Amino acid sequence: MAQIKTIPAISETRDITVKTAIEKTTLFHGRYAPGVVIGAYMVDLALELLPISGEKLNAIAESRVCLADAIQIMTGCTLGNKYLHIKDHGRYALCIYGRDSKRGIRVSIDLNKIDSQNTPVLKQFFEGSRSYASIPRPEQQAMVTQEFLTVKRDIFKAESVLVNLPTKPPLYALCQCNSCGEYFRPTPTLPQCLCQTEPSLYS
């Protein structure tokens, strides 16, 4: 059962480390994005509250956005090594946990903690209600970050959780496709070759 954790104020040392991580993640992400900044602070909080030490890590990103890039840079759990699980539910949340113990910390955004008077653009960012009609996108992106940096961890929710996922997804045997002749890995959800299931992928 998830248990809500008290969120400590960020120390000066951690804040400096997060800023370095933001620079690295921005390079990796390819462009400046407020989600990189917010994601880096979320990963940092999860790492600080993690109830385990010395154990290798796994991670879950609950949407396919900047969060995943902050996780990859700051934890070494990547899509390539399969220690980062993407559960694309569109939730602005992530979880970092022990590879063996499965004990971890899930960090999400608590919209109730976002003050629409003091941080209106930040609120719109998480509600998906921004409009670029009056203020152009780059300026709004900068405003989101600016407002976020005045609150940082204050808008997060942290929970202690036990994760119900295998360390790595099972690796199914390779098969040769009767149609295109390429080898592929059938899974229970995608038993056929991509040339059969998505023939319109390339033209």
Residues within the interface to Zn ion (CB under 5 A): 177, 179-180, 193, 195
Contact between 110 and 155 (Cβ < 8 Å): yes
At its nearest, how many Å lie between Zn ion and the CB of residue 82? 24
- Residue 142, judged by CB atoms within 10 A of its CB (0-12, 13-18, 19+), counts as middle
CB of 173 to Zn ion, least distance (A): 16
The three-class DSSP label of residue 130 is coil
Q: Which is nearer to Zn ion, 79 or 180 (CB)?
A: 180
156 has which bridge partners?
Answer: 109
Burial of 91 (C-beta count, 10 Å sphere; 0-12/13-18/19+): middle
Q: Which two three-digit tokens encode residue 132? A: 């670029």
The residue among 168 and 185 lying less far from Zn ion, judged by its C-beta, is 185
Least distance to Zn ion from the beta carbon of 85, Å? 27
Distance of closest approach, residue 169 Cβ to Zn ion, in angstroms:
22
Q: Which is nearer to Zn ion, 10 or 177 (CB)?
A: 177
Mode of pairing for the β-strands spanning 103-109 and 84-86: unpaired
Shortest Å distance, C-beta 200 to Zn ion: 14
Whose Cβ is closer to Zn ion: residue 37's or residue 193's? 193
Of 8, 129, 128, 17, give the one whose Cα is nearest residue 73.
17
Whichever of 162 and 190 has its CB closer to Zn ion, that residue is 190
Rounded Cα distance between 19 and 40, Å, is 8
Q: In the complex with Zn ion, which residue's Cβ is closer, 50 or 177?
A: 177
E strands, 70-184, in order: 84-86, 93-98, 103-109, 156-162, 175-176, 183-184
Tell me the closest approach of the beta carbon of residue 187 to Zn ion, in angstroms. 15
